[in-house]
Amino acid sequence: MYNVGVIGLGAIAEGYGSPEDPNSYCHVGGIMSSDCVRLAAVADLDTARRDNFKTKWGGVFPDVAYYDSAADLLGAGCDIIAVCVRGPHHFSVMQEVIAAGPTAIFLEKPPTCSLAEMDAMVAAAKAQSIPIT
C-alpha cells in the first residue's frame, strides 16, 4: 500500500466529490476507492480549506495528517505526492516535491506555465528517476 500526500485542497482535489459518492469525481475520492493507496497527509496554505476538508472527509480519512505547507507535508514520508495547487504555482511546488524524492508524483493540469518550466521540471524528475503522471 502506497501512502499519498495531497498538496492543495481545492475543487479537483476534494471539492467535486463527497465521501457518500462511490464514484466521487475528485482525487481523494479516487484514493478512497482504491485498495492500493492510502491518504496519509494533506496540505493547504488556507486554514479554512484544511478545516473544511476535515469536516467533509475526516470520517473517511481519520488518520490523515494536516499540514499548512507543501514543505511540511514533504517531511511526512509519503510515497506518492499529488500536486493540486493552482496552475501558476505548479512549478515552484514541483521543485520542492522533486527535491524531496517521492516514489511518484501526480501533477494536476496545467503542468506548468511555460515550456522552459516544463523542460526544467521534467529534467529534474528524470535525474532522480521520479515518474510524473
Express each pLDDT in 3-58 by its tens digit: 999 999 999 999 898 999 888 889 999 999 999 999 999 999 999 999 999 999 99
Predicted pLDDT at 131: 97
Longest dimension (CA), the chain: 42
> How far apart are alpha carbons 87 and 48 in whole angstroms?
20
> How far apart are alpha carbons 16 and 28 in whole angstroms?
10
Predicted pLDDT at 75: 92
Bridge partners of 106, per DSSP, are 82
Predicted pLDDT at 74: 96
> How far apart are alpha carbons 63 and 133 in whole angstroms?
26
Predicted pLDDT at 24: 85
- The CA–CA distances, whole Å, from 98 to 57, 71, 92, 101, 121 equal 27, 11, 10, 5, 8
Look at residues 102, 61, 108, 57 and name the one whose alpha carbon lies nearest to residue 82. Answer: 108
Which tens digit of pLDDT belongs to each residue from 91-129? 999 999 999 999 999 998 889 999 999 999 999 999 999
